[in-house]
Amino acid sequence: MKRFLAVVTVLASIAGSGCGPDQIAGPGSSDLEGPGVLELRISIPHAGASALLITIGGGPVDSLTSDLDALLLASTVTEQRAILRGTMQGVATIRLWVPDVAHLPDYTASVLQAVDGTTYEQRTTAGYQTAITSRRTRNIRRPSA
């Protein structure tokens, strides 16, 4: 039994020696590489908007999710378009699933079109602001006007 415990201890030491704290990526990790989620926050200046057409540039987006109805449209590798639909007030958040979160500074977003929820008329996009952040660090990158 003592020999078994000695062997297990040696094997555990060898296995653990290759793992440093800089190689562990988990919740709360400062490691900002590899696939992950970026948050696109859109400030909604006018109450009553019910649909937005958004352009997302700077890199590929694998998919997106939101508490509202969201649809990622097929585009190029470096620019995608998305439709966000629902009752919007204050701030709308879209989670962008990207292949490498290290490219956060490259990503940009802007609102191309906005639709009124009552009349379905196109509204001005003046006043809409976007910011893409990392879910891990919550640092705002490249706010747009």
pLDDT in tens, 82-108: 999 998 989 999 999 999 999 999 999
Report residue 36: phi and psi, to 5°: 180, -165
Measured between alpha carbons, how far is 136 from 127 in angstroms, rounded to an integer?
Answer: 27
User: What is the reported pLDDT for 19?
Assistant: 44
Across the range 49-76, mean pLDDT stands at 92
Measured between alpha carbons, how far is 115 from 128 in angstroms, rounded to an integer?
Answer: 13
Q: Domains in the chain, ordered, with CATH?
A: 34-140 (2.60.40)
User: What is the reported pLDDT for 12?
Assistant: 43
pLDDT at residue 144 above 90? no
| Residue 124 token pair | 């001005």
pLDDT in tens, 11-24: 444 444 444 333 33
Across the range 135-142, mean pLDDT stands at 51
| Higher pLDDT, residue 29 or 55 | 55
Q: 38 falls in which pLDDT band (50, 70, 90)?
A: very high
Average pLDDT of the chain is: 79
Report residue 17: phi and psi, to 5°: -70, -25
User: What is the reported pLDDT for 31?
Assistant: 53
